[in-house]
């Protein structure tokens, strides 16, 4: 969220080649957030936080333009973007390690490419890159 109403937006443009990976990552987060809503069951007090998380991720996904563009206002979407990309980076690192153990060159190479794309985009966006 913006630190004050007068803060100008900070727009980062997701490269076209990153958009499919970014959108896949965000769709996975939407799925996870929807499961969080479902887990609320009859606990009415739990719904606001679960729905807020779902709304943040959905708004970020919409900001990617569904393949048409990738203009993301970091003053609005920074936290959701940080969380989503950090989760996916951890997943790709795990996939890379698993592929190395299984001697799967194709899997290792794909994970390495995704890791490189994610790290580069996170650096350009000024996001924190979590350690292994």
Tens of pLDDT along the chain (132 residues)? 445 556 677 999 988 889 999 999 999 999 999 999 999 999 999 999 999 999 999 999 999 887 667 789 999 999 999 999 999 999 999 999 998 887 778 888 999 999 999 999 999 999 999 986
Domain assignment present for residue 42? The answer is: yes
Q: How high is the pLDDT of residue 5?
A: 57
Domain range for 24 is 11-125
Domain assignment present for residue 83? The answer is: yes
The count of structural domains within the chain is 1
Q: How high is the pLDDT of residue 67?
A: 66
Whole-number Å distance between alpha carbons of 23 and 130: 20
Domain assignment present for residue 75? The answer is: yes
- The three state secondary structure string of 24-90 is HHHHHHHHHHHHHHHCCCCCHHHHHHHHHHHHHHHHHHHHCHHHCCCEEEHHHHHHHHHHHHHHHHH
Q: How high is the pLDDT of residue 58?
A: 94
User: H-helix or E-strand containing 13?
Assistant: strand 11-13
Domain assignment present for residue 93? The answer is: yes
CB 61 within 8 A of CB 14: no
- For residues 63, 113, 30, 35, the Cα torsion angle rounded to the nearest 10 degrees is -170
Q: How high is the pLDDT of residue 4?
A: 58
Q: How high is the pLDDT of residue 16?
A: 87
User: H-helix or E-strand containing 131?
Assistant: none
């Amino acid at each position: 969220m913006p630190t004050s109403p007068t803060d100008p937006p900070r727009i980062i443009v997701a490269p076209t080649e990153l958009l499919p990976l970014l959108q896949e990552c965000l769709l996975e987060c939407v799925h996870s957030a929807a499961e969080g809503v479902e887990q609320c069951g009859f606990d009415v007090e739990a719904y606001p936080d679960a729905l807020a998380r779902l709304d943040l991720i959905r708004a970020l996904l919409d900001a990617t333009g569904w393949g048409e563009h990738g203009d993301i206002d970091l003053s609005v979407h920074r936290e959701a973007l940080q969380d989503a990309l950090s989760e996916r980076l951890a997943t790709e690192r795990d996939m890379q390690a698993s592929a190395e153990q299984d001697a799967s060159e194709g899997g290792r190479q794909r994970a390495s490419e995704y890791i490189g794309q994610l790290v580069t985009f996170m650096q350009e966006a000024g996001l924190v890159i979590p350690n292994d």
